[in-house]
Structure 1
Amino acid sequence: MRHFSGWMRPAPFAIWVASICALLGAISARAQNPQAAQGPPIIKSIDVQYTGPGTVSKERILAQMRTKVGQPYSDQVVEQDIETLYKTGSVLNVRIFAQPEGNGVKVIVAVQTRSIVREIEIDGAEQVKAKRLRKEIKLKLNQPVNEQELDEARQKIVEVYQGRGYNDVSVQFRVDPIDEKRGTARVVFTVNEGLKGAVRQIHFEGNEHFSEKVLRKQMKTRGKTLVYFLDKSGRLDEVQLEQDLDKIREWYQNHGYIDVQIKDTRKERTKNGPMILTIVIAEGPQYHVGKLTISGYQATSEQKIRALLKMKEGSVYSPKQLRDDAKAVADAYGSGGYVDLVVLPEGTPAGPARIDVHYKIEEGDRSFVERINIAGNTRTKDKVIRREVLLAPGDVFNTVRVDTTKKRLENLGYFAKVETYPEDTDIPGRKDLTILVQEKRTGSLTFGGGFSTIDKLVGFAELTQGNFDLLNWPGFTGAGQKFRLRIQYGTERKDFILVLTEPYFLDRRLALSGQVFYDEANYLSAQYDQRNYGFAIELRKPINAFIYATLGYQLQDVDIFNVDPSASEAIQSQEGSTVESKIFSSLVFDRRDNPLLTRRGQRVTLSPYIAGGFLGGDTQIYGFDLEGSQ
């Protein structure tokens, strides 16, 4: 037994050989099974399965997808494919999933397509021809059924009828199948015209503290005017009427009448058809502020906070003023860097027609700017954006300046969307300011033609770019420069102008503008023609928020030609070419709220100029212009 036991004990050399063989076997097994170390399975085939009729071909569905045969299967790509298929508007429901197939997967696209519109019917249209309504709704045949487009078409029919005085009109639509196997359908609009008669007047009952004129100003629904075909007055839209009633409630509540109610809205027709709206109001009592308390402040005093509030103890209680006061407190804190501030205004009933107001303040920590990050600008240069930013790294994180920065970027006209928000950093008391922009098209090409008694026949073409870059060939965009080229040619006039403006010359708030022009006019007089051509440069410098100054130089040649022999000696003496060398300037005070649609504000311009003298040229003149508008 002792000999048998010794034969079973392995030698050290045998153990070493066995270990090597086991290691090599493991490596060999791993090499023979590479699937264990590989990523997602490979797509072997794609099958499109239809629920109902297949109105979209398999080839068209596969062409919209990024999932392809031979590629690794990806859930993320599948989600994008589903989103893309929905965006086509031809798919009602879609589901994409994978099934094992051999050493890969088979992708199943289960899809339910939309029916195709083959016919459009309009029932009940008597006062307006169905042919006219079809032109207005602009629905196309042989397109997938789209509920949103059908509802827009329904609303368009309602607008057509309301424009003709049928304010009681109602329109419904339905989709009827024609051939279910082929997936074709018929859209039927059913019109209930109602009685004709536009809204003539709007009256109020129960309005003791506000006149009908004041309340009507809160509404978009209006009585019919002489220009009803332009301002769409006299129409009754139930949705708009509900919004108008909400505006009236809001108006009353913002003036202290918190319990105001709209009791009834009567619609009465006269014998001839026009409608009279009567809105019955129960105003209720006017509420006032009882006690006003503030809590949670540490970095400032209650006295300073109360100074910011316009709604004080004893004042008329107004939800709007409550929000405005909370915003004023938030801006005051925000200008000091309290980015995480929370102001919670609360109103609590405190007896008959009395409300106590409490402001709960959560200050948070004061923050400073660590970095300014800009994202989303694929064309616009960083410096064009940064020069509009009113903060710099190390500054107090002033939220008021951040809001102003956002408005300045929006006013550039380069971006469809501008977002600004703070981001936490690893450094206590430091936050990054992130500016996220979404760019939009800033150039345009327009052309046209016309005829007038003065210009006669004339055509024009104009190219503009609001975000131009002279040195960025071939795109020529991104530097924030302004470019304009206009050519106008007609039987009585010929014009050419090329303008380029650099709003931040030498990276300063100094705008430099240059232009080259050529103007030829045959309509100024029956006795002569005139041609002006030359160039001008101008500098513009803002002095403060409302005042700016300009200084420029212009050199032009004024040519009088084709002078009638019967013209006066004064006109004949001007025949030929005259050179004008002029320096011009201006000082402008502008406090208008909007340069185009001005509702309030003033603009005053003082413009001195001088030509000739030490400037040379043939024209000797000096003077000034003073203009003002209110």
Structure 2
Amino acid sequence: MAALVLLFFPAAALAQTYQLSEVVIEGNRRVETSAIRSVLQAAPGKTISLDEIDTDIRAIFKLGRFEDVKAEIRQQDAAVTLVYRLAERPLVRKVEFTGNKELSTDKLKPLSALKTPDIYNPSVVDKSVKAIKAAYLEEGFYSAEITPKVEIDDQNEASVTFEIKEGDKVLVDRIDFEGNKVFTDKELAKVMVTKERWFLSWLTGRGTYQEEVVQNDLEIIADQYYNQGYVQVKVRQPVVTPTEDGKYLNILIEVEEGEQFRVGEVEVQGDLLKSREEILELVLLRPGDVFSRKQLRADVFAVNDLYADQGYAYVNVSPLTNIEPEKKLVNLKFDIEQGIKVHIERIQISGNTKTRDKVIRREMKLDEGDLYSATKLKDSRRKVNNLGFFEEVNISTARGSDEAHMDVNVEVKERPTGTFSLGFGYSSVDGVIGQGSITQENFLGRALKLNLSGAFGSSSTTYQIGLLDPYFLDKNLSLGFDVYKTEREWSDFTKRTTGGDVKLGFPVGEYNRAFFIYRYEEKEIMDVDDDASLFIREQEGTSTLSSIYSSLTRNTTDYRLDPTTGYVAEGSVEFAGLGGSEKFSKYILDYRHFFPFKWGTVFSMHGQLGYVQRIGGQEIPIDERFFLGGINTLRGFNSREVGPRVRRTSQQVNPNTGNIETVLVDDFEFIGGTKEAIFNLEYTFPLVKEMGVKGLLFFDAGNAWSEDQEYFSEMRYSVGTGIRWFSPMGPLRLEWGYNLDPREDEDRSKFEFSIGKFF
């Protein structure tokens, strides 16, 4: 028997061939022999060369299951046997981490590409080490060391342990600039994502140095210059040096600003959908203006949307620039390739595990078969998002059956829309309260709004059931009802109400909606305080209300739960006198506007005017008058304690006559106004963006007046601050108001909280 072990192949031997009688595979325990044979060229009865055997060895290695592969040829008489001797890699049974304190094991496990059980692969271990190292770099631990240790038992099974030495977190101490004259150091540092450390860096992570983020900051800095016409600006790679104690890093960024350029000629060429003049009207960059890359992008989008809204989904608007350095001009030419018209073929919805497809489809501005429109796609996303049912709404497009057709993919991620609560709590208005409620904004997945609640507290008790269908009979028509019973104890009287309403709403144009509500209530004013004013005592007893309410609302905000841009304008009229004993007319105008500002902040202003009018000379009911003060009107004032007030009365026995007489006392009671005006200015800014926590600064002004007083005759003012949070229970408000001109009997400041919508 002769044996030949192929460890090295001399060049002269590569041409030698063998007629194989048998092919044997040895050493594999976990890998099936059939899986190995499937990658081999060698087979019984086949003539094979040494070169082909070498190729087989490489193919076995590529399986990634073996750490050693050898080939041996055994020849006995005319029989030739080819033997592949394999050494399997161990099976990974356990993956562990040691030394990690800053990053939890639960966070590190997904970063390891090693699976259990699986065959050990050194390249996979290297990949895992790089991923873990990157995670530590992202958190600012630049000295972190990750060392993999492998232990193999006699069963050829491996335990892999990543030994981690985290080291200290390195933060940025200072960011300096050189060569900048157009922008100050402060202005450039402000636009960077990388920030200098501060005293709360241990909590917020501010000051963490991340290479990728710094590289992106260089682009942001350059963009600031491009937007001011400095098209030849150069932002050098940063010089990063440790501080003397080695605890922190200093960053130096050098800038070569160059000269400022202006816009020269502005032209348009290519496939012109409209006249040259009409297209150029969309371009806001004009000859002589300081060149701005930001505005150039906006102009490209404007021209692009002109075509995309006419069905040209694949339009390509290329801004061609020609720089004239000697004149310091940038000539612009918009080259347009309109492509073909595209129709919507299919609208596919995914991710809606609860919400029915039709609830989403009816918010889409495009239907299957319509011409493509970029603006309508944007509006569709806004409308679906405004349903408030989803954490994420993504709308993308894909090629349809051919170039002339396009599919629209709507991907959503459901969010909880219903709550059930049973327990006790505390309200800054009602004191200690107990409550149980079921609310569902998306009842049965049909967008039905269900409210079933009960609450009892030290000063109020409420029971209510309500249902609203925003698309009654699958038409853009809202229909709903409420039935309720409340009892509320105020300082001078108690009010008990039993009633209900029927609601009807429908759209009026794109952003407008009209609502009509019929309301019927049976009321009782009781337990009137002995010292209450004559005005209050005269209203003691029972009454009925039968009214029709109408409103017209225009809402252009981007996200109705927490807007950042757009406005909400509403006008309403309520007429009471369709039967019932109460008669009045109430008019309210309300306007709120949101302005996005820098760094994710939002400025908003709100104004409201109200007037309630007598009908037939009948006194206006106490509960229909305007009472201001509190978190929803004028912060810093007690609830319902801004507006007209009268002195309380007291009944005393005249010692001279023995008669009971009513006399005025020093204390006041608030009787509400027939006129009101409220103005609120707010500035919100992110505190913990990931959690949806925002800070707030505000200024409030307003008052309520009696019939014989003029509007704005005596205004009340307050300022304050607060925190707003999209908590699991709903939008949470914690706000502190400071009364700028308190009366003797008023508190200087007031802290309040509420759970509900932000405005």
TM class by shorter-chain length?
Answer: 0.5 to 0.7
Q: Which runs of 5+ in 2 are unaligned?
A: 1-27, 33-62, 67-87, 118-123, 593-604, 606-759
Read off the aligned partner of 1:552 and give its amino acid letter. Answer: I
1:256 equivalent among 229, 242, 246: 229
TM-score between both structures, scaled by the size of structure 2: 0.53
* Equivalent in the alignment of 1:345: 319
* Equivalent in the alignment of 1:456: 432
In structure 2, distance between residues paired with 1:208 and 1:568: 70
2:448 equivalent among 477, 481, 487: 481
State whether residues 386 and 559 of structure 2, in contact with CA within 8 Å, keep that contact through their aligned partners in structure 1: no
The question of 1:609 aligning with 2:574 is answered yes
State whether residues 345 and 368 of structure 2, in contact with CA within 8 Å, keep that contact through their aligned partners in structure 1: yes
* Equivalent in the alignment of 1:309: 283
2:518 equivalent among 545, 553, 556: 553
CA 586–112 in structure 1, closer or farther in 2 if over 3 Å, else same:
farther
In structure 2, distance between residues paired with 1:136 and 1:424: 44
Q: After superposition, what is the alpha-carbon deviation per residue over 1:111-170, rounded to whole angstroms, capped at 9, x for unaligned?
A: 986542456334xxxxxxx5x865996979x995999999898788778xx7xxxx6764
The correspondence of residues 10-159 of structure 1 with structure 2, limited to 5 A, is 50=30, 114-118=92-96, 120-122=98-100, 130=101
The correspondence of residues 144-293 of structure 1 with structure 2, limited to 5 A, is 170-178=143-151, 180=153, 181-193=156-168, 202-223=175-196, 232-263=205-236, 264-265=238-239, 269=243, 277-293=251-267
Question: Displacement, 1:230?
Answer: 6.6
For the residue of structure 2 that corresponds to 1:256, the secondary structure is coil
Read off the aligned partner of 1:186 and give its amino acid letter. Answer: T
Q: Which runs of 5+ in 1 are unaligned?
A: 1-47, 53-91, 96-109, 123-129, 469-475
For the residue of structure 2 that corresponds to 1:217, the secondary structure is helix
For the residue of structure 2 that corresponds to 1:258, the secondary structure is coil
* Equivalent in the alignment of 2:82: none
The question of 1:622 aligning with 2:585 is answered yes
2:376 equivalent among 384, 395, 401: 401
State whether residues 397 and 406 of structure 2, in contact with CA within 8 Å, keep that contact through their aligned partners in structure 1: yes
Read off the aligned partner of 1:121 and give its amino acid letter. Answer: G
State whether residues 546 and 580 of structure 2, in contact with CA within 8 Å, keep that contact through their aligned partners in structure 1: yes
State whether residues 49 and 111 of structure 1, in contact with CA within 8 Å, keep that contact through their aligned partners in structure 2: no
Q: After superposition, what is the alpha-carbon deviation per residue over 1:89-109, rounded to whole angstroms, capped at 9, x for unaligned?
A: xxx9899xxxxxxxxxxxxxx
State whether residues 494 and 528 of structure 2, in contact with CA within 8 Å, keep that contact through their aligned partners in structure 1: no
Read off the aligned partner of 1:204 and give its amino acid letter. Answer: F
In structure 2, distance between residues paired with 1:622 and 1:349: 67
State whether residues 139 and 153 of structure 1, in contact with CA within 8 Å, keep that contact through their aligned partners in structure 2: no
Read off the aligned partner of 2:94 and give its amino acid letter. Answer: I
CA 292–118 in structure 1, closer or farther in 2 if over 3 Å, else same:
closer
The question of 1:329 aligning with 2:303 is answered yes
For the residue of structure 1 that corresponds to 2:302, the secondary structure is helix
State whether residues 552 and 585 of structure 1, in contact with CA within 8 Å, keep that contact through their aligned partners in structure 2: yes
Indicate the larger mover: 203-212 or 288-297: 288-297
For the residue of structure 2 that corresponds to 1:614, the secondary structure is coil
Question: Displacement, 1:246?
Answer: 2.5
In structure 2, distance between residues paired with 1:152 and 1:513: 55
The correspondence of residues 530-609 of structure 1 with structure 2, limited to 5 A, is 531-545=496-510, 547-558=512-523, 563=527, 568=532, 578-599=543-564, 601-609=566-574
In structure 1, distance between residues paired with 2:397 and 2:132: 39
Read off the aligned partner of 1:209 and give its amino acid letter. Answer: V
Structure with greater proportional strand content: 2
Question: Displacement, 1:594?
Answer: 4.7
State whether residues 137 and 153 of structure 1, in contact with CA within 8 Å, keep that contact through their aligned partners in structure 2: no
CA 275–420 in structure 1, closer or farther in 2 if over 3 Å, else same:
closer
Q: After superposition, what is the alpha-carbon deviation per residue over 1:360-417, rounded to whole angstroms, capped at 9, x for unaligned?
A: 32233446x5866556578766654554344567865544334433543444455644
* Equivalent in the alignment of 1:516: 483
State whether residues 93 and 113 of structure 1, in contact with CA within 8 Å, keep that contact through their aligned partners in structure 2: no
For the residue of structure 1 that corresponds to 2:310, the secondary structure is coil
Read off the aligned partner of 2:440 and give its amino acid letter. Answer: T
* Equivalent in the alignment of 1:502: 469
For the residue of structure 2 that corresponds to 1:259, the secondary structure is coil
Q: After superposition, what is the alpha-carbon deviation per residue over 1:207-233, rounded to whole angstroms, capped at 9, x for unaligned?
A: 211234432332233345676677554
State whether residues 420 and 436 of structure 2, in contact with CA within 8 Å, keep that contact through their aligned partners in structure 1: yes
Question: Displacement, 1:190?
Answer: 0.8
For the residue of structure 1 that corresponds to 2:166, the secondary structure is strand
In structure 1, distance between residues paired with 2:244 and 2:380: 56
CA 491–251 in structure 1, closer or farther in 2 if over 3 Å, else same:
same
State whether residues 446 and 462 of structure 1, in contact with CA within 8 Å, keep that contact through their aligned partners in structure 2: yes
For the residue of structure 2 that corresponds to 1:308, the secondary structure is coil
In structure 1, distance between residues paired with 2:93 and 2:553: 63
In structure 2, distance between residues paired with 1:136 and 1:551: 54
Indicate the larger mover: 370-379 or 260-269: 370-379
Read off the aligned partner of 1:188 and give its amino acid letter. Answer: E
In structure 1, distance between residues paired with 2:213 and 2:566: 32
In structure 2, distance between residues paired with 1:297 and 1:317: 25
Read off the aligned partner of 2:551 and give its amino acid letter. Answer: S
* Equivalent in the alignment of 2:57: none
CA 281–487 in structure 1, closer or farther in 2 if over 3 Å, else same:
farther
CA 517–387 in structure 1, closer or farther in 2 if over 3 Å, else same:
same
Structure with greater proportional helix content: 1
In structure 2, distance between residues paired with 1:586 and 1:269: 65
CA 356–202 in structure 1, closer or farther in 2 if over 3 Å, else same:
same
Read off the aligned partner of 1:116 and give its amino acid letter. Answer: K
The question of 1:359 aligning with 2:337 is answered no
State whether residues 312 and 341 of structure 2, in contact with CA within 8 Å, keep that contact through their aligned partners in structure 1: yes
Question: Displacement, 1:354?
Answer: 4.4
State whether residues 459 and 488 of structure 1, in contact with CA within 8 Å, keep that contact through their aligned partners in structure 2: yes
State whether residues 201 and 275 of structure 1, in contact with CA within 8 Å, keep that contact through their aligned partners in structure 2: yes
CA 157–271 in structure 1, closer or farther in 2 if over 3 Å, else same:
closer
Question: Displacement, 1:282?
Answer: 1.8
Read off the aligned partner of 1:206 and give its amino acid letter. Answer: G
